[in-house]
Amino acid sequence: MKRMSWASLLLACCVFLLSACAGGGNVNQKAKGDFSAGMVTDTGGLNDESFNQITYAGLKRAQKELGIDIKALESKRDEDYVPNLTKFARENRDMIWGVGFKIEKAIADVANQFPNAQFGIVDSDMGGKIPKNVTAVTFKEEEGSFLMGMIAALSTKTGKVGFIGGISSPLIKKFEVGYRAGVHAANPKVKVQVAYAESFNDATKGRSLAKAMYDGGADIIYHAAGGVGKGLFDEVKTREKGKYWAIGVDMDQSRLAPDHTLSSMVKRVDVAVFNVMKAQQQKKHKAGKLLQFGLKENGVDYASTTTKHVKPDVLKRVDEFKQRVVNKELIVPATEADLKQFMQS
């Protein structure tokens, strides 16, 4: 043991020395440009084909149209959120985005530590306690999912549709509840099967669940399950065209199965972050509050490719309801309790 330990000890010293030699580099340099933004992803990473990627698209648009300097940092683990946010804060970036509800506590901490920096969080209302220098952005996923529910209920031939969720959480619950409400509003006789994979990346589980649902009589399945949802598309592709359908989420997922994708619920995080930064650049933005993006704000919607497979009369009905939601004549439920009430009235 002795010999080895000494070896390692010396070794560690060398590592330190090496790093000391390497030191003195470029720390704390001020970001270029008159407005700069940073973005910290959650553990999904930058190209997750979901909210991280859409947020980054918004930043890139801002870079192009508003000429701002952008940079992104990926988080490998939950513990990385705080240091990543801190890095941007020390660079004095004008707007620092944290993407995903998992970052909310880290944002609260870092925002408190850097009261002069501006932060934004996507997909979280911070539990109602939004610090003065934080802008919280959430989406009314239930409204978008409501439209998906309507499309499913009006398009089903079997009278049975499905929903596959990722890990049980309030966010995913919003998708489920909105979807069920939409189905109910369009045709209360249509049955909805609901299952949670308790994972966001096990595509095998997604495929098995989809298979079980299709075999059990459902012909349209909507998912809010990240990578698990890929399994849904894998399954539907093997089935008869025009008979079995999948509905995508977050981005337009029709490219995953062009002939089997009925619609996708798109979440325009890009629009939201772009608008916030534009207002900031023009000094018209007020932080410390919650911005909610629903159908009215074009924050959620059905994908443009929806017209390809959904019948015009179905889409007409859907648009009618969409207008009612926009006009606030119809409130879409977001929780199980609200849904119960919704179904009774």
Residues 117 to 136: which contact another protein by CB under 8 A? 127
Count other C-beta atoms under 10 Å from residue 127's C-beta.
10
Contact letters for another protein, residues 246-265 (x by CB under 8 A): ---------xx---------
In the complex, minimum distance from the CB of residue 131 to another protein, in angstroms, rounded to a whole number: 14
Measured CA to CA, the distance from residue 243 to residue 31 in angstroms comes to: 53
Measured CA to CA, the distance from residue 341 to residue 193 in angstroms comes to: 20
Paired residues of 334 in beta bridges: none
CB closer to another protein, 92 vs 193: 193
Measured CA to CA, the distance from residue 16 to residue 19 in angstroms comes to: 5
Of 266-325, binders to another protein (CB under 8 A) are none
Of 54-93, binders to another protein (CB under 8 A) are 71, 73-80, 82-84, 86-87, 90
Chain centre distance of CA 320? 26
Measured CA to CA, the distance from residue 62 to residue 20 in angstroms comes to: 38
CB closer to another protein, 23 vs 312: 23
158 interacts with another protein by CB under 8 A: no
167 interacts with another protein by CB under 8 A: yes
Which tokens in the block code for residue 43?
């553990």
Which tokens in the block code for residue 203?
């595509």
CB closer to another protein, 6 vs 242: 6
CB closer to another protein, 235 vs 301: 235
In the complex, minimum distance from the CB of residue 308 to another protein, in angstroms, rounded to a whole number: 18
- The span of 177-185, 192-200, 311-319, 326-334 binding another protein (CB under 8 A) equals 192-200
CB closer to another protein, 104 vs 141: 104
Handedness of CA 267, 273, 276, 278 (dihedral sign): negative
**Among residues 31, 48, 142, 152, which is the contact residue for another protein, using CB under 8 A?**
48
Chain centre distance of CA 37? 19
Q: What is the DSSP secondary structure assignment for residue 126, as one 8-state letter? A: G
* C-alpha distances out from residue 224 to 54, 171, 221, 266, 281, Å: 16, 10, 10, 11, 34
**Among residues 201, 285, 317, 326, which is the contact residue for another protein, using CB under 8 A?**
201
In the complex, minimum distance from the CB of residue 56 to another protein, in angstroms, rounded to a whole number: 10
Chain centre distance of CA 99? 8
**Among residues 65, 198, 259, 320, which is the contact residue for another protein, using CB under 8 A?**
198
| Paired sense of beta strands 160-165 and 261-267, if any | unpaired
For residue 169, which phi and psi values (nearest 5 degrees)?
Answer: -160, 160
Of 202-241, binders to another protein (CB under 8 A) are 202-205, 207-209, 211-213, 215-216, 227, 230-231, 233-234, 238
Assign 69 to helix, strand or coil. Answer: strand
14 interacts with another protein by CB under 8 A: yes
Please give the size of the binding site for another protein, defined by CB under 8 A.
Answer: 87
**Among residues 105, 191, 317, 324, which is the contact residue for another protein, using CB under 8 A?**
105
Order of strands across the sheet with 160-165? 191-196, 160-165, 220-224, 245-250, 261-267, 300-302
| Paired sense of beta strands 261-267 and 300-302, if any | antiparallel
27 interacts with another protein by CB under 8 A: yes
In the complex, minimum distance from the CB of residue 315 to another protein, in angstroms, rounded to a whole number: 27
In the complex, minimum distance from the CB of residue 296 to another protein, in angstroms, rounded to a whole number: 26
